[in-house]
Amino acid sequence: MPNIVQRLLVQRSHLFSLTAGHRCFHQTVPKRHSSGPPKLSPYDVNCVLRANEYTQEFVGSSVKSYDTNQLASNSPIEDSRSEGSCVHTSGLLVGIFDGHAGAACSQVISKRLMRYIAASLVPPDDLKQHIQNGAQSHSFINCHNDKLEFVSEIKDLYERNFNIFANELTNTTLAGFQMHQVLENAFLRLDQDLSREAIENPSLRTMSVAMSGAVAVVAHIDGPHLHIASVGDCSAVLGTVTDTGQWTAKKLTNEHNSDNVAEVRRLLNEHPATERDTVIRGERLLGQLAPLRAIGDFRYKWTRQQLQELVVPQFGEQVIAPFYLTPPYLSACPEITHHMLTPRDKFLILASDGLWDTMSPMQTVHLVGEHMYGKAFLQPLKLPKHDVTFGEISQMLSTRKAGLQKKPLDRNAATHLIRNALGGTEYGVEHSKLSHMLSLPQDIVRLFRDDITITVVFFDSEYLRNCPT
């Protein structure tokens, strides 16, 4: 691991404090003994898998509920997640953020990006009124699963820059409003703010965010409108059922890496032909970074002079990548996808690449689809309100008995996916394999699995059937 990366691995406490009333839970597994990794009991496995799961339900919208969970490989975990309802508009924002070179950038943008987007959706006149009434960044989005807040020093800096951004938004016009422009502007503006904060207020906190980076996928859902914004290699997959009852998986994102021919072509076109052989080397940006789009990572965006003045004195000359000639080499501009939801669209899976390293989109859709069917049998039997015959009751009981065989072990669909990702075989989930994957020592676990973060959003088919477009 490069020296700069080692020196930038900052603990969560440098940026965050716990919100009052919450405790911090850390996943733990038994220590390694000389005879090898310990074997976890089914109970131990469930405790580890379910430690970070969360479910939120909704009424009266196109989103019925969502399940989310994450499992760490790195310590601290470099993935982050965020979900929240826009306070002044009717949308839901859901995001997955996968950090690299430390956790700092992913942790920070998982909170700030949602606030930038939520504020951008408020009409300018209304936004001006909210600002005049003293609205702060967190008041624009109601986060459903958030136990942390920024420490006071960094919080004040972030709040000042949010206010500058929000005041600029009040001078825009709604004429020709486009959701993709809102999302793109929020991504790019936050990236610019992270850069400016590190340049104008250099400190351990601002520089740890600037020198680390994160890829991201964010979904905004409002009625039948689903927008996806992504940079890097997190993915979004839509689970849809056909007329014949078959599941289909529709991928709504593209990975921004060297496997993406169009992305490589875009990058090469942004630099002189003389750099054609050096911009991407060994399938990595400048031979170092796998994603070709990311937030943060300013060692691939700042000028050589800025790196010499701001970073080299602290981290050494190795901070400047070989063949660093015509920056910026890295973009934070997201790729935007819009999809009109229909009653056949049943759920959306957002996940970091820790999941996609082990499963295909179609596999995840089948697993969540089966989980949806089996989960119904975890609920108490409810008889229809109208009169029913004994024969009808008998049929319901027979169907329920058959369905109990498919009853999932986990109520949370994200947990169900993690369980299958780590322990799945062609014959089902194998406890010994799952126990082994969860017992790997910290010094080698990253060789076998990455951080995994998943959010599964379930749609209300009845609402989508009747809502206006």
446: three-class secondary structure by DSSP: helix
Binned average pLDDT, 10 residues per bin, the chain of 469 residues: 43 53 39 58 96 97 97 96 96 98 96 98 94 95 91 93 96 76 97 98 94 98 98 98 95 98 97 97 97 98 97 93 98 98 98 97 96 67 70 69 68 97 90 94 93 98 90
Angle, CA of 71, 76 and 82, to the nearest 5°: 60
Q: Are 79 and 87 in contact (CB under 8 A)?
A: no
Residue where the block lists tokens 């998943």: 454
Can you list the positions of beta strands (E) in 195-272?
213-222, 225-231, 235-241, 247-251
Q: What is the pLDDT of residue 23?
A: 35
Q: Are 341 and 466 in contact (CB under 8 A)?
A: no
Q: What is the pLDDT of residue 14?
A: 61
CA–CA gap between residue 345 and residue 460 (Å, rounded)? 9
Taking the CB of residue 30, how many other CB atoms lie within 10 A of it? Answer: 11
What is the 3-state secondary structure of 25-81? CCCCCCCCECCECCCCCHHHHHHHHHCCCEEEECCCCCEEEEEEEEECCCCCCCEEE
Q: Are 104 and 8 in contact (CB under 8 A)?
A: yes
272: three-class secondary structure by DSSP: coil
pTM over 0.85: yes
Q: What is the pLDDT of residue 21?
A: 38
Q: What is the pLDDT of residue 5?
A: 42
Residue where the block lists tokens 């839509």: 238
- Closest by alpha carbon to 374, among 348, 428, 410, 426? 410
Can you list the positions of beta strands (E) in 78-147?
79-86, 92-100, 141-143
Question: Cα-flanking dihedrals φ and ψ of residue 252, to 5°?
Answer: -105, 5
CA–CA gap between residue 239 and residue 56 (Å, rounded)? 19
Amino acid at 323: F
Q: What is the pLDDT of residue 389?
A: 80
Q: What is the pLDDT of residue 380?
A: 59
CA–CA gap between residue 249 and residue 244 (Å, rounded)? 15
Element (H, E) at 241: strand 235-241
Angle, CA of 428, 430 and 432, to the nearest 5°: 175
Q: At what angle do helices 104-120 and 204-211 cross, to 10 degrees?
A: 90
